[in-house]
């Protein structure tokens, strides 16, 4: 089946999240190896590690939210009929959309305040706001993907690959 523009966008978000996983893993590996074998430290390695982990978390939220791969409690859902499973999924996704939208709004305020305060890393004095902005982009991508998931849950559940046995709401 040919992939539409939205599916390619979703794949790109997941690829970006995977790249940040690789960057954080490489950064950690490099820091540990340099310290252990050569007793050398990278300036601001702790700051970069924290900032990169923050970016990874927000892009990870984007990647897991669309797929529904985040932590869930399925006691009620597992014992419900397919129709009620879908109702529960739509409700939970709407709640998630609201929460992540508010989080994205407040994170934008943090990006702006970090930029205005000229907050910098400890040793190299590099500005930290670009890291916050990249994290915010991940959070904004999460809002978009959760909105797409909500739409697809309501109108096109077959696109999510779920086990829904009922027809879309008309």
Mean pLDDT, the chain cut into blocks of 10 residues (170 residues total): 76 89 91 92 89 91 76 76 86 93 96 95 94 96 92 83 50
Q: Please state, in angstroms and rounded to a whole number, the distance separating the CA atoms of residues 106 and 104.
A: 5
The domain locations on the chain are: 5-160
Q: Give residue 86's pLDDT.
A: 85
Q: Give residue 113's pLDDT.
A: 96
Q: For residue 80, which of 168, 166, 158 has the smallest C-alpha distance? A: 166
């Amino acid at each position: 089946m040919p992939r539409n523009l939205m599916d390619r966008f979703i794949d790109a978000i997941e690829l970006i999240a995977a790249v940040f996983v690789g960057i954080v893993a490489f950064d950690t590996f490099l820091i540990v190896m340099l310290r252990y074998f050569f007793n050398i430290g990278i300036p601001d390695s702790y700051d970069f590690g924290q900032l990169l982990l923050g970016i990874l978390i927000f892009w990870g939220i984007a990647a897991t939210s669309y797929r529904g791969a985040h932590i869930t409690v399925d006691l009620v859902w597992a014992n419900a009929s397919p129709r009620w499973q879908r109702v529960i999924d739509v409700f939970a996704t709407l709640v998630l959309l609201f929460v992540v939208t508010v989080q994205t709004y407040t994170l934008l305020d943090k990006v702006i305040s970090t930029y205005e305060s000229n907050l910098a890393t400890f040793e190299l004095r590099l500005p930290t706001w670009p890291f916050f902005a990249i994290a915010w982009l991940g959070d904004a991508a999460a809002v978009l993907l959760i909105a797409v998931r909500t739409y697809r849950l309501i109108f096109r559940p077959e696109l999510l690959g779920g086990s829904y046995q009922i027809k879309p709401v008309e």
